[in-house]
Amino acid sequence: MFRAMTRAVFWVMAPVMMIAGAASPVLAQGMAEKRVVIAHRGASGYLPEHTLPAKAMAYAMGADYIEQDVVMSADGVPVVLHDIHLDTTTDVAQKFPDRHRADGRYYAIDFTLDELKTLNVSERFKADSGDQVYAGRFPKEYGIFKIPTLEEEIMLVRGLNKSTGRDVGIYPEIKDPAFHRAEGQDISMAVIKMMEHWGYGSREGNAYVQSFDWTEIQRIRGELNYQGRLVQLLGENDWNIAPGTDYDFLKTDDGVAAMAKVVDGIGPALSQVIEGLSTEGRAIMTPTLIAAQRRQLAVHPYTLRADQLPKWAGDFNIALGAIFDDAGINGVFTDFPDQVADYLATLQ
């Protein structure tokens, strides 16, 4: 009831705001911040992550952006995989049993693109038991999919943009640039060249480039002179995902100010923007979120899953109401783009 009233008040006010005209910076800001659905690894709640069918499904479900996690092949081709390892989404252990490293893991960067293309991709499974991570999702046994390259994903989205007349964006993440550098590959250079080649080299290109590595994000903006939109992902220091990046600092007001000089938005964990619900059932916003909104950064938290809700959310709609209505967040990474698109459609 309260949420419905909030929306009703908005729509009573909306024509007044429109009449206020383009001179209003508040209105201009509001219009620039259409709330967006970012398909996390594609429609990964329904089809195995980072497969072309999962991306096409996300597109058809009304996603505004489709995410690509990017790692490099041995022969320097950016490919779309969440992990630098292959062993929990593919049959690499069956097809190349001798190609693991001393730690027992199979690394994408040890395989050429031709070799990667021989692998079959399935729903994600656990390394120890082999059980699929999300039991209710696409059956792991139906491993009928292939690893796409970044360029193939770009062609899919751009092709669909032509055939449907829509303008869906891409949202590549540069995975573990320090690891790639240690392996002799400049993943950022490869991804940025690809972005520029396909028309995503400026803010007019409908894309965001994201990374957890703050040093690398600054390098992409500085040394590599990338002019497109950038998003700094936020983690926690004890996750050990980006050596040298101090998330405790980035989450502070000074940290947000530093990021605002370089990036267009931030990608925090949901827990880093909403602490929980108040006794009235409204979202409690973190200081990081408030600081980012004050500096007009886009805020795109990860990851909203219908089958793994935040612990404070009794159901998916409560989570969506907290994120969009209460906290005024302008986009979310989700495995279920259809459900978020449906919710946003009710607000418009």
The answer to whether residues 242 and 198 touch, using CB atoms and an 8 Å cutoff, is no
Residue nearest to Ca ion (CB): 173
**Smallest distance, Å, CB 68 to Ca ion?**
8
Nearer to Ca ion, 173 or 216 (CB): 173
197 assigned to active site: no
- Please list the alpha-helical segments (H only) found in 103-240: 113-117, 150-164, 177-182, 187-197, 214-221
- What distance lies between CA 112 and its chain's CA centroid? 26
Sites for Ca ion among residues 157-216 (CB under 5 A): 173
**Smallest distance, Å, CB 69 to Ca ion?**
5
Rounded CA-CA distance 320/301 in Å is 12
Nearer to Ca ion, 69 or 325 (CB): 69
Helix axes 287-294, 253-260, angle to 10 degrees: 30
Nearer to Ca ion, 49 or 123 (CB): 49
**Smallest distance, Å, CB 179 to Ca ion?**
15
**Smallest distance, Å, CB 345 to Ca ion?**
25
Sites for Ca ion among residues 264-293 (CB under 5 A): none
What DSSP character marks residue 44?
T
Q: Any idea of the CA torsion for 53, 55, 61, 64, to the nearest 10 degrees? A: -170
Rounded CA-CA distance 299/200 in Å is 20
**Smallest distance, Å, CB 315 to Ca ion?**
25
40 assigned to active site: yes
**Cβ-count burial 19-39 (b if 16+ within 10 Å, e if not):** eeeeeeeebeeeeebebbbbb
Nearer to Ca ion, 3 or 55 (CB): 55
- State the catalytic residue, choosing from 50, 82, 180, 300: 82
The amino acid sitting at 149 is: T
For 93, phi and psi rounded to 5 degrees? -65, -30
The 3-state secondary structure of 94-121, one letter per residue: HHCCCCCCCCCCCEHHHCCHHHHHCCCE
- Tokens at 143, concatenated: 């491993």
Nearer to Ca ion, 38 or 61 (CB): 38
Judged by CB under 5 A, the number of residues near Ca ion is 2
Q: 233 in helix, strand or coil? A: strand
**Smallest distance, Å, CB 264 to Ca ion?**
17
Instruction: Report how far apart, in Å, the C-alpha atoms of 219 and of each of 17, 224, 225, 236, 263 are.
Output: 40, 6, 8, 21, 12
What does DSSP say about strands 36-39 and 78-80: parallel, antiparallel, or unpaired? unpaired
69: contact with Ca ion by CB under 5 A: yes
Q: 208 in helix, strand or coil? A: strand
The answer to whether residues 325 and 277 touch, using CB atoms and an 8 Å cutoff, is no
Nearer to Ca ion, 83 or 173 (CB): 173
**Smallest distance, Å, CB 67 to Ca ion?**
6
Nearer to Ca ion, 93 or 178 (CB): 178
Instruction: Report how far apart, in Å, the C-alpha atoms of 42 and of each of 53, 81, 147, 242, 265 are.
Output: 8, 11, 13, 24, 21
Q: List residues with catalytic annotation.
A: 40, 82
Site residues, Ca ion (CB under 5 A): 69, 173
